[in-house]
Amino acid sequence: MVMNLSSNIKIASIVILSSIFGIGCSNEAAEHNQLPSISPISEIGRLQEQLDSPSSDQIMVVAHRGCWRETAENSIAAVETCIENNIDMIEVDVYQTIDGHLVSIHDKTVDRTTDGTGDVSSFTLEEIRLLKLKSGAGGSDAEITDWQVPLLEEMLLAAKNQILINLDVKEAIYGQSLELVEALEMTDQVLIKMVALPDDERLTGAAFLGKTYFMPIVRQCRPEKQGMICSKDLSDVLPDYEKFSPIAYEVVFHEEEYLIDGVDEIKKQNKRLWVNTLQKHHAAGHMDLESVADPDNHWGHLINIGADIIQTDNPIELATYLDSKGLR
């Protein structure tokens, strides 16, 4: 046994020295004596592991429409900027042209974000590609860029193996979106969300279930919004979603008590809790503007309640804040 152990040590030493100093050995010897290789976890693998394993000291950052403040929303540049700044996930919007192509754009019309006018669904792909994106969040005063409205495929490829993607499918084109994600072999990188109660046929029959990550959007009922898909109590509805194996719950609330009511159930299911600081009614008044100015009392406050994914229009500032607190 001692001789065998000594021989193994010698062989290991030769292999290590060979790799360091470039000393050659025959293919046969290399195959016979090869040491097991240890590959570092990839960036996308690290992000997948974080998403799958909720942790109170690992808060994830989602860039709403990409890192658009530095570029243009739903643009290739917005994806690349998020990757350069180590953002965890980008939210990408999906619409369909009149000739059946999936493009990344948020609004029903092209008016706000491009130099054109009209419904997205009235353009052919060739026509919409002639338009130029406006900088930032667009609008009448925004500068015109040289960037085109991107195909969804282009957005996905720009993100492949580098950053997680949350698809916000704006029309009844979940099936077509899923087909593209599968064709690009990116199902393990994509999260699809849906506003639907647990018994809704759109959800119970959704083709993406079990193929991509899934997240239901659960909203607190608002008296002024009659007919909205919502629930009065968060804790009551959450158990009915568990059969769909969600990776997280996106909770939209105007009263903190609604969110607090469901935190224990979400943690019991070992799921992540996603909140948005985009608009006043998304997170009981905790908005990006106030969060950037006073992060402890807004982003930090939501984290203390139990949020561990935050979607924001200020992803770089949020990431910087989390880094300063050791929360990434």
Gap between the Cα atoms of 171 and 16, Å rounded? 57
Contacts with 120 (C-beta within 8 Å, 6 or more apart), sequence order: 95, 96, 97, 103, 105, 107, 108, 109, 110, 128
Cα 213 to Cα 164, 245, 326: the distances in Å are 10, 9, 27
DSSP H helices in 22-109: 27-33, 43-52, 76-84
- Give me the domains of the chain, ranges plus CATH numbers: 2-33 (no CATH), 43-324 (3.20.20.190)
Contact (Cβ atoms closer than 8 angstroms) between residue 98 and residue 120 = no
Contact (Cβ atoms closer than 8 angstroms) between residue 68 and residue 137 = yes
Cα 194 to Cα 108, 127, 148, 234, 250: the distances in Å are 18, 30, 28, 16, 10
Active site residues per annotation:
64, 106
Gap between the Cα atoms of 160 and 154, Å rounded? 10
Q: Can you give the pLDDT at residue 14?
A: 35
For 82-91, give one letter per residue: b (16+ CB within 10 A) or e: bbeeebbbbb
Tens of each residue's pLDDT in the chain, 328 residues: 333 433 433 334 333 333 433 434 344 433 434 434 444 568 899 999 999 999 878 999 999 999 999 999 999 999 999 999 999 999 999 999 999 999 999 999 999 999 999 999 999 999 999 999 999 999 999 999 999 999 999 999 999 999 999 999 987 899 999 999 999 999 999 999 999 999 999 999 999 999 999 999 999 999 888 899 999 999 999 999 999 999 999 999 999 999 999 999 999 999 999 999 999 999 999 999 999 999 999 999 999 999 999 999 999 999 999 999 999 9
Token look-up 């001692």 returns 2
pTM to 2 decimal places: 0.87
Q: Can you give the pLDDT at residue 172?
A: 87
Gap between the Cα atoms of 70 and 87, Å rounded? 14
Contact (Cβ atoms closer than 8 angstroms) between residue 168 and residue 99 = no
